[in-house]
Chains A and B, each alone.
Chain A
Amino acid sequence: MATHSQSYALPSDLPLDSGQALSGVEIAYETYGELAADKSNAILICHALTGDQYVASTHPITGKPGWWERMVGPGLPIDTDRFHVICANVIGSCMGSTGPASDGPDGKPYGMRFPVITIRDMVRAAVALLDGLGIDRLHAVVGGSMGGMQALSLAANWPERAERVLAIATTARHSAQNIAFHEVGRQAIMADPNWQAGDYYAGGNSPDDGLAVARMAAHITYLSEEGLTEKFGRRLQDRDSKTFGFDADFQVESYLRYQGSGFTRRFDANSYLYITRAMDYFDIAEEHGGPGNGTLADAFAGTTARFCVVSFDSDWLYPTAESRHVVHALNAAGAPVSFVELSAPFGHDSFLLDVPALDRVVKGFLDG
């Protein structure tokens, strides 16, 4: 698939929810399919925590296929023969958009001097990109997991910018359990002596061990117990018996270690801190009415978009109850909304995997 890797420099400072502003912001993005002359066929795909703009093109570091190649492409549910698909790396990340590893105004990497950002800040940057591309109104904004949070945030905060909002395996607020798992990951990174309070870019050593542990813990939350049991059970890794030691005796241990170490080759530890923080701060209702006062329905009061919310029965990270909470708020706001809980065995990661029913829902919603 032909792609057009590009970078957009924001023409002005990006105001942030913290009250600070970020100057010199770059947004790296990929596009697929032709933009119609009237610019009416654009779909913005928002990526998840450790995702990137390479939604349907080969990842430049890992050489692996795009993270949603099964969904995005010619003749696929998000059909690039019909739609102009835009996928931008979120700010705070590390695949070309401005983040903690980028140089600050003094020419040195931000590190922990990078301001704490929110999901809404990420979307504000994406909207600035759309402004730069001259796209006033999206055919749809689409995202799974943290991408779904961005889709909902765009609908709540820039209600005129999207005709359709497709939010998959996501939530309108991070729960205590969600925050708790993220805190484990952050503490693992910060406990790594190579982290050096985030100022590790100049030296040769980055906090890979801590980042790998963070990824291992998080990865468990993306899978279902059923999936783990089926894939690994209690099977041993390349051995006939337990070693009575602390090697990766079990296949599941070996798998997690592989996932952890592979992750460190493509992801920046500080980005992981900042993006998980943004997710933990996420609470759309709170943004609209102050702590404890806002209701989610208020947040969507101004919307004219059509919504489609999808959950998976084996997702315990953002369980169906969270999607229903969003749907009930949209009902109360009078918004046209579809919701379906799909059955799939893969846990939270179901949205990335082979679930034919998801393909049909995505295609039907985007075509309708």
Chain B
Amino acid sequence: MVEAPAETLRPDLAVIAAHVPPGVRVLDVGCGDGALMAVLRDSKQVDARGIEIDPMLVERCVARGLSVVQGDADRDLTFYPDGAFDVAILSQTLQTAARPDHMMRELLRVGRRAFVSFPNFAYWRMRWALVSKGRMPVTRHLPVSWYETENIHHVTVKDFEQLASDLGVTIENRWFFTDEREVSAGGANWRAEYALFEVSAG
């Protein structure tokens, strides 16, 4: 087993990798090419499963020996039993869900805890693009035009915290990132390009 160095992961994934306890069962929803799953498997002996919608990425996961199902998180989470996983992960996917609130409930139904990361639409560059140009922002982190983006439910740090409150979900931890580096929580709704929350039910 070659231990993939955690620093090759995107910063939010590296934080998740550092905070998932060893040996647990993990479901990575929207697992991409399986980079995080591979690290969790190889460095923490985690029993990792994934869901990914893009068949090319699923193929790469299978070629890495990972257990990944091609599927749509909006539709396929329902087929996992209650409490099947210790940890559910939803990285940079919440804003693409048909109903983010339903997906949060599903995450905390199949997993006891969840890590959820998303781009913060209240990041100052976003606000500036909207205010100064009157156009939907196209930034380094969200590089796609409004008409072709998969991000159909733009969300801010404050919105997420309100959603957690509405759903009765406990926020256990939160981390913020800008320019691929972790930043402090102060003024995060302005300063953070994207956010990562660790949540638990009740």
Residues of A bordering B, CB below 8 Å? 306-308, 324, 327-328, 331-332, 334, 336-343, 357, 360-361, 363-365, 367-368
Contact = CB atoms under 8 A, between A and B. Distances in A.
B61 A341 contact: no
A339 B71 contact: yes
- For the complex of A and B, list the 3 residue pairs with the smallest distance between their C-beta atoms, beginning with the closest: A368-B65, A364-B63, A328-B79
Nearest to A320: B70
Given A365-B65, A367-B65, 19 more contacts: A306-B67, A307-B67, A336-B49, A336-B67, A338-B62, A338-B69, A340-B55, A340-B62, A340-B70, A341-B55, A341-B70, A343-B55, A357-B55, A357-B59, A363-B63, A364-B64, A364-B65, A368-B63, A368-B64
Of the four ranges (under 10, 10 to 19, 20 to 34, 35 or more), the interface on chain B belongs to: 20 to 34
Given A360-B59, A361-B63, A363-B63, A339 B70 contact: yes
B81 to A, nearest CB: 6
Given A334-B81, A340-B58, A327 B63 contact: no
A327 B62 CA distance: 15
A324 B71 CA distance: 9
Contacts of B79: 327-328, 331-332
B59 A368 contact: no
Contacts of A341: 55, 70
A167 to B, nearest CB: 13
Interface string B37-70: 0000000000101000001001101111111111
Centre residue among B67, B71, B76 by max chain A CB count within 10 A: B67
B80 A332 contact: yes
Nearest to B55: A340
Nearest to A366: B65
B62 A361 contact: yes
17 contacts: A328-B79, A331-B69, A331-B76, A332-B80, A336-B67, A337-B69, A338-B68, A340-B55, A340-B58, A340-B62, A341-B70, A342-B59, A357-B59, A360-B62, A360-B63, A364-B59, A365-B62
A361 B81 contact: no
Which of the listed residues B68, B70, B80 has the most CB atoms from chain A within 10 Å of its own CB? Answer: B70
A338 B64 CA distance: 11
B69 A364 contact: no
B145 to A, nearest CB: 26
Contacts of B47: 336
Nearest to B47: A336
Interface string B92-108: 00000000000000000
B130 interface: no
Contacts of B66: 338, 368
B84 interface: yes
Contacts of B71: 324, 327, 339
A332 B55 CA distance: 22
A299 B65 CA distance: 24
Contacts of B81: 332, 334
Contacts of B64: 364, 368
A339 B59 contact: no
